[in-house]
Amino acid sequence: MARQEQNSSFEAQIEANLKKVYEKTVQEPVPDRFAALLAQLKEQDAASSDPDAGDDGENSQ
Amino acid sequence: MKAPVGDDPASKSGDPRDEIIQHLGAMRAFAMSLTRDGSSADDLVQDTIVKAWSKIATFEPGTNMRAWLFTILRNTFYSGRRRAKREVEDVDGVMAGGLAEKPAHDGRLAMRDFEFAFAKLPDEQREALTLVGGSGFSYEEAAETCGVAVGTIKSRVNRGRKKLAELLHLSEDDSMDMTDKSTMAVIGSQSATGGFRA
C-alpha cells in the first residue's frame, strides 16, 4: 500500500537521522579534559590505595 | 547480553576502568541527546566519569560497560535536572521557538529540522530513541539502562517516532509521499509569497 510505503520511508529517514545525529557527536574529537581527568583519578587512586607501595613508581608520576 | 563494542582489550589488563576512555564518544552523544546542549553534555560526562570511577565495584566485568556507564550518566542527568529545572525549561523554550517554520523543504528531513523536533520530545522518548535508534542498543539493553521493562522501551520508541512525525508535519494526515516534498516546498513558497497578501 502507498500509505505503508510512505510510513516505512518516513521511518527509515527517522532511523537514519537518529543514527546521524548520534554518530555526529560520537565522531567528534573527545575533549582532552576527559583523558586528563581519567589520568588524574588513576593517579589519586595509586597514591591513596597503595600507601606502602612507595617503590612502585610507575603509576605515581 | 549483546555488547555494542566488540573488542575489549582493557579487561585483560585488570582494571575495567581503563576501558572507560573507549566509551567517551558514545557517552558524549548520549549526554548530548539528554541535555541538548554541548557544554552541559560535557559537564554531565565529566560527572559520570568521576562517579563511574568510584563505583567501579558495581560493574560486573564481562558485562556491557557502555550500558553501565549510560545508566550512571542518565541517573546523574535526572538527579541534576531536578536541581536545575529552570535551566532545562529555558532550553525547551528555545527549542520550541526554533520549530515554528515548516521543515523538509528539500524532500529529505533536513538535519537541523530533525534535531529541533527531536529536542522537543519528552525525555523518556528521546532517550529511548537515542539508545535504540542512535547507539544501536537492543531493546533489552535500553530497558536495563533505563531501569524499565522491555515493553516500556518499545512503547517509548513507538510514541517517540509518532511524535517526531507530528512535529515534522509528517503525520498520517500528510498524504504526500516524502519524495514529493520538494515540489510541495515550491508550491508552499509560492503561496507564501503570492497568496494571502491582501
Residue appearing with cell numbers 503561496? B191
ipTM score: 0.73
The alpha carbons of chain A give a radius of gyration, in whole angstroms, of 24
B109–A33 CB contact, under 8 Å: no
Mean pLDDT of the B101-111 span: 57
Nearest CA in chain A to B45: A34
Whether B28 contacts chain A with CB within 8 A: yes
Q: What is the CATH number of the domain that holds B139?
A: 1.10.10.10
Which residue among B41, B115, B164 sits closest to A14, beta carbon to beta carbon?
A: B164
B29–A37 CB contact, under 8 Å: no
Whether A56 contacts chain B with CB within 8 A: no
Of B88, B117, B151, the domain-final residue: B88
Q: What is the pLDDT of residues A24-58, one digit of tens each?
A: 999 999 999 999 999 999 999 888 866 554 444 44
Are residues B129 and B196 both part of a single domain? yes
Residue B43, domain member (yes or no): yes
Nearest CA in chain A to B26: A26
The b/e string for B46-63 (b: 16+ C-beta within 10 A; e otherwise) is bbbbbebbeeeeebeeee
Q: What is the pLDDT of residues B150-177, one digit of tens each?
A: 999 999 999 999 999 888 876 544 444 4
* Domain containing residue B188: 98-198
Are residues B103 and B175 both part of a single domain? yes
Are residues B181 and B158 both part of a single domain? yes
Reply yes or no on whether the pLDDT at B142 is more than 90.
yes
Hey, CA dihedral for A24, B20, B135, B46, is it positive or negative? negative
Query: Tell me, what's the pLDDT at B175?
Result: 44
